Amino acid sequence: ENSDISFHSLENVNGGYELDIREILADHDVTGVDLIMTSSTPSSCRFVWVENDIKLDGRRINEYVFFNIDHLLAMEHSSMLSTIRIVPSSDCFRQHEPTYSFFVIYRNLTKDKVYNELDNMGISRFKRDTEKMDPRNDTCNVVPWTVDFAELGWDKFISFPLTYNANACEGKCAQSRNCVSAMNKPINMLKNYEILRRLYAYCPDVSLLDHSCCRPSKYGSQGIVFRGASGSLFFIVVSQMRVLECSSN
C-alpha cells in the first residue's frame, strides 16, 4: 500500500473553516484527518465541529498543534452532508489567523508515525540524546546546532519546519592527523547534512568549525513540507539531515 499525506488550505467562511468530505468518505485509503495550526495558537484554543457539536482539543507537538477530526471517518458515505464546518473559539488567534495552517488527510498511514517524526524535529530529541552523555567528557560528542532555512533563502519553497535541530560534532580526538574536511569533498560525495554545513559556511556572520576529526558517524532523517510552484504542498522524509552520533575518525 502507498502511504500519502495531502495538505489542503483552510477556507474561512463566516468565521469558521469548511472541508469538503465527499471525496474523503469515498476514499477507502483515508486513515485519518487533522486540522494543523502553528505553535502561535494558544493552548486555550478549542474547535467545535458544528454538525455534531463535538469539541476538539489540540495536541501540541513541537511547532504545531493538531486537532483530530477522525470522527468524520465513521460517517456513512450516504450522509447528506457534503461539507463539515469547524469553528474556533474566540481566543484561538492572538493577532491574526495563522499563515501555515491546513487540513491534513492521511492515506494508508498511521498518525503516530507522523507525530513521532515531528517530535524528532524539536529540542526534545536533542535532550534525549544528550542525557546519555557524561557532561565531564570532553571527547567527541553530539552538540546542538540549529538549521534555519530562512538564512539559506529556502523558506521560499519550504513551508515547515523553518528551523530544526540538525546537531553537530565537537570534542577532542586521540588522533587528529590526516583528517579530510567535508569542505574539500566533491559535491557528489557529500551527504545531505554535509551539504547544509557547506552552504552555511558561505552565510555572512556564520562561523562553523570544521577542522576536527570528531565527525558524524550516524545520521537521522527529517520530515519537511515543501511548497510546489503551483502552491501545492507535499511531505518528504529526507535522509541524512541530522546527526545522531559522533566518533573520532
Q: Domain 120-248 in CATH: superfamily?
A: Cystine-knot cytokines (2.10.90.10)
Tell me what pLDDT residue 87 has.
83
Tell me what pLDDT residue 95 has.
46
Contact 212, 171 (CB under 8 A): yes
Segment-wise mean pLDDT, segments of 10 residues, the chain, 249 residues: 71 78 84 80 78 79 80 69 78 54 82 74 48 54 87 84 85 64 66 87 61 82 80 79 85
Strand order in the sheet with 158-160: 12-13, 16-20, 83-88, 46-49, 54-61, 64-68, 30-38, 102-107, 4-9, 233-248, 214-227, 158-160
Contact 106, 9 (CB under 8 A): no
Tell me what pLDDT residue 69 has.
86
Tell me what pLDDT residue 152 has.
86
Tell me what pLDDT residue 136 has.
42
Tell me what pLDDT residue 234 has.
75
Q: Phi then psi for 183, rounded to 5 degrees?
A: -65, -20
Q: What's 150's DSSP letter? A: T
Residues facing 17 on adjacent strands: 12, 86
Tell me what pLDDT residue 185 has.
66
Q: Whole-model pTM?
A: 0.53
d(CA 26, CA 48): 24
d(CA 228, CA 196): 21
Q: Where are the domains of the chain?
A: 4-109, 120-248
Tell me what pLDDT residue 133 has.
44
Residues 6+ away with beta carbon under 8 Å from 113 = none
Closest to 14 measured CA to CA, from 38, 50, 46, 44: 50
Closest to 63 measured CA to CA, from 144, 3, 146: 146
Tell me what pLDDT residue 175 has.
61
Tell me what pLDDT residue 129 has.
45
Tell me which residue has cell 513540507: 225
Contact 18, 88 (CB under 8 A): no
Tell me what pLDDT residue 156 has.
85
Tell me what pLDDT residue 128 has.
47
Contact 105, 24 (CB under 8 A): yes
